[in-house]
């Protein structure tokens, strides 16, 4: 069966510090991968998605970047965090080809607080 892992689960960082959130998927190959952010009491905002290694599409111009160094690894980064980067970050994957039902499968999330 397929599983998705995100870490760290919780992170408290000072303004101006760097960020690295990691996401890995197991049990599937060549998935589409996504990063979403959920601010407190708000909906899910798509930040980045990737359809393959090294292929990143950015949805919202901001202080963040994403990379996909391996087929099932997706990394969200920032060089200098802002207060507005605080939120609940969710990684998700979706199958491709015959495995594509349209459904996105989400990880448990990483809660980032920038102080």
* Residues lying near other proteins in the complex (CB under 8 A): 32, 34, 36, 42-46, 49-51, 57, 59, 90, 92, 94, 100, 102-109, 111
How far is Cα 21 from Cα 39, in angstroms, rounded to an integer? 16
Q: Cβ 80 to other proteins, closest distance in Å? A: 27
Q: How far is CA 41 from CA 11, 38, 86, 103, in A?
A: 19, 8, 13, 23
Q: Which is nearer to other proteins, 85 or 89 (CB)?
A: 89
Q: Cβ 68 to other proteins, closest distance in Å? A: 12
Q: In a 3-state reduction of DSSP, which class is residue 61?
A: coil
Q: Which is nearer to other proteins, 19 or 47 (CB)?
A: 47
Q: Which is nearer to other proteins, 15 or 60 (CB)?
A: 60
Residue 25 and residue 72 in contact, taking contact as beta carbons nearer than 8 Å: yes
How far is Cα 91 from Cα 38, in angstroms, rounded to an integer? 11
Q: Cβ 16 to other proteins, closest distance in Å? A: 27
């Amino acid at each position: 069966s397929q599983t998705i892992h995100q870490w760290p689960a919780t992170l408290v960082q000072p303004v101006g510090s760097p960020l690295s959130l990691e996401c890995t998927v197991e049990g599937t190959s060549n998935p589409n991968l996504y990063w979403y952010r959920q601010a407190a009491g708000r909906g899910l905002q798509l930040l980045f998605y990737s359809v393959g290694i090294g292929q990143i599409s950015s949805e919202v111009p901001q202080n963040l970047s994403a990379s996909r160094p391996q087929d099932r690894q997706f990394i969200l980064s920032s060089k200098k965090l802002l207060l507005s980067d605080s939120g609940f970050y969710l990684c998700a994957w979706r199958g491709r080809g015959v495995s594509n039902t349209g459904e996105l499968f989400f990880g448990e999330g990483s809660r980032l607080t920038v102080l």
